[in-house]
């Protein structure tokens, strides 16, 4: 069965969720990862797709997402501010460009950036573009088509809007916005010519089926990149006591994501610092081909130099930036 589904994936035909679940029952983690890596090599090659983020607005979020340290419903002690200082954002862009990180994004807390603040962020993006030329992304919540068009005209080429989890599980984690709200924003971003980065978080209590439904839903929404975060339970959030999922389960999940989304970038995102180097290497040779580098929004990430060493050791190469 695995050989048949792998061959289909090598032709660009995605596995169904039911097929992936059956594979998970029948095969070892290494067997799944080896098959996924063949598919990854076919469509993505051996170049790692790297990106970085700047927390451009922190905390005070009106939404009640159970996992999030930035929600006003939680008391987590994070820094709170309305706008990242321009000098800090520019410095981060320069450093990432110099380090060879391919993509750079401003990320804001809140349901969405207020219409009056879009211009301020657009002005910052234009300065980043003029000075560095780095590929620019944005993650600014549930924007409408006009607001997304403004970002696109400022040079933003990719919009990030995570589905977070499957449509069937999302209502148990958030009540202040819906899965459909996110899909509307994703559709509008595509309409104005942006690429879509859309994934979520694993390990929030979802079933394997719900986890794999997320991969399918992100692919069907038009994502070119699926970030995979591993829940890092943060003290003060409603998920602070959720048990950590095991490393083998994470290996299996990534491999099955690759068979469901054979042609897309699968991006290592938050939560991977707790994994052993052996597991991270297995995942990078088990379907994953992208990484979010540096610090995350409210947690510390892997260092860029450390990541580059890991990528080199697992056979990836750096592609010169255009």
C-alpha to C-alpha distance for 297 and 199, rounded to whole angstroms: 16
CA dihedral 34, 39, 41, 42 (to 10 degrees): 150
Please tell me whether 198 is known to bind a ligand. Answer: no
Please tell me whether 137 is known to bind a ligand. Answer: yes
Beta carbons of 21 and 71 less than 8 angstroms apart: no
C-alpha to C-alpha distance for 191 and 183, rounded to whole angstroms: 12
Beta carbons of 107 and 56 less than 8 angstroms apart: yes
Beta carbons of 169 and 139 less than 8 angstroms apart: no
Number of other CB atoms surrounding residue 119 within 10 Å: 11
Residue count of the chain: 322
What residues does 61 pair with on adjacent strands?
Answer: 71
For residue 51, count CB atoms less than 10 angstroms from its CB and return exposed for 0-12, middle for 13-18, buried for 19 or more.
buried
Beta carbons of 170 and 179 less than 8 angstroms apart: yes
C-alpha to C-alpha distance for 238 and 233, rounded to whole angstroms: 9
Torsion sign over Cα 214, 220, 222, 224 = positive
Please tell me whether 174 is known to bind a ligand. Answer: no
Which structure tokens are listed for 147? 């607001």
C-alpha to C-alpha distance for 281 and 214, rounded to whole angstroms: 24
C-alpha to C-alpha distance for 12 and 34, rounded to whole angstroms: 17
Please tell me whether 61 is known to bind a ligand. Answer: yes
Q: Which runs of consecutive H residues, i.e. helices, occur in 154-246? A: 179-191, 208-220
Please tell me whether 51 is known to bind a ligand. Answer: no
Annotated binding-site residues for [4Fe-4S] cluster read 61, 65, 68
Binding residues: 61, 65, 68, 105, 137, 197, 267
- Could you list the residues known to form a binding site for [2Fe-2S] cluster, using ranges: 105, 137, 197, 267
């Amino acid at each position: 069965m695995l050989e048949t589904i792998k061959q289909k994936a090598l032709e660009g035909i995605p596995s169904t969720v039911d097929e992936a679940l059956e594979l998970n029952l029948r095969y070892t983690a290494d067997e799944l990862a080896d098959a996924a890596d063949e598919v990854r090599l076919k469509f993505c090659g051996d170049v790692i797709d790297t990106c970085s983020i700047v927390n451009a607005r922190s905390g005070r979020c009106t939404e009640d997402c159970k996992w999030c340290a930035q929600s006003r419903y939680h008391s987590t002690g994070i820094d709170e501010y309305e706008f990242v200082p321009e000098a800090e954002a520019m410095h981060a862009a320069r450093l990432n460009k110099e380090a060879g990180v391919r993509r750079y994004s401003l990320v804001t807390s809140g349901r969405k950036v207020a219409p009056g603040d879009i211009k301020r962020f657009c002005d910052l993006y234009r300065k980043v573009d003029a000075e560095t030329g780095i590929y620019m992304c944005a993650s600014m919540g549930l924007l409408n088509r006009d607001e997304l068009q403004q970002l696109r005209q400022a040079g933003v080429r990719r919009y990030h809007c995570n589905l977070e989890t499957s449509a069937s599980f999302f209502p148990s984690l958030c009540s202040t916005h819906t899965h459909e709200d996110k899909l509307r924003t994703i559709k509008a971003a595509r309409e104005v010519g942006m690429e879509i980065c859309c994934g979520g978080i694993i390990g929030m209590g979802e079933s394997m089926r719900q986890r794999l439904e997320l991969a399918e839903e992100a692919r069907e929404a038009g994502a070119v990149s699926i970030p995979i975060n591993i829940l890092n339970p943060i003290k003060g959030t409603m998920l602070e006591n959720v048990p950590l999922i095991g490393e083998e389960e994470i290996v299996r999940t990534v491999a099955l994501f690759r068979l469901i989304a054979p042609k897309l970038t699968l991006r290592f995102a938050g939560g991977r610092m707790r994994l052993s180097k052996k597991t991270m290497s297995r995942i990078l040779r088990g379907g994953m081909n992208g990484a979010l580098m540096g610090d995350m929004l409210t947690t510390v990430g892997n260092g860029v130099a450390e990541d580059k060493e890991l990528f080199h050791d697992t056979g990836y190469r750096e592609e010169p930036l255009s």
